[in-house]
Amino acid sequence: MSRTVRELLLVPGFLLVASCFCWPQAAHAQQEGDANTFALRDGDVVGFLGDSITAERTYGKIIEQYTLLRYPIRKVRFLNLGIGGDTAAGGLARLERDVFANDVTVLTVAYGINDIGWGTRADDEHRQLYLESIREIVRQCRARGVRVYICSAAITAEDPETSEQSYLQRMCDEGLAIAAEEGGETIRLQRTMRAIQKRVIEFNQHLPEKDHRTLHHPDGIHLNDFGQLAMAYAILKGLQADRLVSSLELDAAENRTLREERCRVSEVNLTTSGGTFVRLDDALPFNNGPFAGLDYGFVPIPEINQYLIKVTGLEPGRYELVVDGRGVGSYPADLLERGVDIATATTNGFLPGGPWDAQANVIRQLTEARSKLNAANGQRAEYFGEAPWSLEMARHSADIDERFYDLLREMAKPRPYRFTLTKEEVDAE
């Protein structure tokens, strides 16, 4: 483990989110973020319209991976429609070509920083153009049956205490109000990201400056991967992503299942000293690669990604949890009795934990490959246009993209996992 990671783990108050969360108190069907309220439906084509932050393709890939894992029976397609340097007026001008012609059914729109020239054109003229463009984007999308979500701009590296009252924030707030007035949906991206930014700044106080974390590249505008994760989280919250993957409660002393929610259990063979059972979930938790848990201390992905297990009736002691031969963690009996979230749990930070984590890693690589294919196809269209051979390449790319989706959906299928709880031996003194 690197020195920096060790320092992160030792900082007082830092949350490594492979541990536990409070057990939910009741059925969840009526709570915000229920599986039936997630905005992306079966058959949707989702477009991400925006500037260079969108064109980086990172937050869109995270949303795609999350949707594949959490809603595996929904066939949803994703299109990145970001262009570097674009503005709301530019997005409006290309709605027909990029949105309507591609049969987009759900559109997220994220502009603002280029509209005021990174602050050099923060004046009434450019503000008004932004607001008028947002209004017309919503109107045209509504007229074509596209469910449109207007986002405020992503945060900059400006001090969060002053950026709350910045020209950019005020302009975006006006844009959100106009979008709502026209019947569009809104996502308050800046304020969700700003809360994360504040946690990062507080955390940095415990580290030397060379080890400070940031959400941005050195220009203070473009987001690094950490910032892109924060943006993806904010959009997922705005799309009403469901907090619960599944939860299971077992009584080891009586060898029985007490509660199953979004999962089914079979072959239960438990005693007070451990045992085995098979769990088949309706969906899988999202995972974002090695050491992702270090990010979740700031970006609260677990709020929308809880994969829970609770086992009562165990003898005191520690229990090793292994799932399909993969080490997940070691937990004291009293913690298992309260319930643990094992979505990102692993015994080795360099490797996936449970088999669901391994599945998510494969999906992450496939999504990356699909994104590169589509980026290359976009450049082909830009550079070579309607040349006959270029159009033939476009047809091949479309065929390959379809195969990628088949692979992704196959990889995202929940499968029955065998859970094994083994009481650890205590070394004699």
For residue 80, give the CATH number of its domain. Answer: 3.40.50.1110
Q: Across-strand partners of 107?
A: 47, 148
Q: Range of 189's domain?
A: 35-238
Tens digit of pLDDT for each residue in 267-286? 999 999 999 999 999 999 99
The whole model's pTM is what?
0.91
Regarding whether 218 and 273 lie in a shared domain, the answer is: no
Closest CA to 21 of 233, 244, 306, 292: 306
pLDDT band at 20 (very low <50, low <70, confident <90, very high): very low
Tens digit of pLDDT for each residue in 228-266? 999 999 999 999 999 999 999 999 999 999 999 999 999
Regarding whether 296 and 380 lie in a shared domain, the answer is: yes
**Where a domain ends, among 212, 238, 264?**
238
Q: What is the pLDDT of residue 386?
A: 86
Q: What is the pLDDT of residue 5?
A: 36
Regarding whether 184 and 61 lie in a shared domain, the answer is: yes
Regarding whether 115 and 183 lie in a shared domain, the answer is: yes
Regarding whether 131 and 16 lie in a shared domain, the answer is: no
Regarding whether 264 and 189 lie in a shared domain, the answer is: no
Tens digit of pLDDT for each residue in 383-393? 998 899 999 99
Look at the chain and count its residues.
Answer: 429
Q: What is the pLDDT of residue 4?
A: 36
Regarding whether 308 and 168 lie in a shared domain, the answer is: no
Regarding whether 59 and 22 lie in a shared domain, the answer is: no
Q: What would the mean pLDDT of 111-136 be, rounded to a whole number?
A: 96
Regarding whether 345 and 312 lie in a shared domain, the answer is: yes
Q: What would the mean pLDDT of 18-46 be, rounded to a whole number?
A: 62
Q: What is the pLDDT of residue 336?
A: 98
pLDDT band at 349 (very low <50, low <70, confident <90, very high): confident
pLDDT band at 65 (very low <50, low <70, confident <90, very high): very high
| Predicted confidence (pLDDT) at residue 24 exceeds the cutoff of 70 | no
Average pLDDT, the chain: 91
**Where a domain ends, among 238, 261, 283?**
238
pLDDT band at 9 (very low <50, low <70, confident <90, very high): very low
pLDDT band at 32 (very low <50, low <70, confident <90, very high): very low
Q: How many domains does the chain have?
A: 2
Q: Rounded to whole angstroms, how far apart are CA atoms 246 and 284?
A: 8
Q: Rounded to whole angstroms, how far apart are CA atoms 127 and 112?
A: 9
Q: What would the mean pLDDT of 311-336 be, rounded to a whole number?
A: 97
Regarding whether 143 and 23 lie in a shared domain, the answer is: no
Q: What is the pLDDT of residue 13?
A: 36
Regarding whether 226 and 253 lie in a shared domain, the answer is: no
Regarding whether 343 and 298 lie in a shared domain, the answer is: yes
**Where a domain ends, among 185, 216, 238?**
238
Q: What is the pLDDT of residue 34?
A: 59
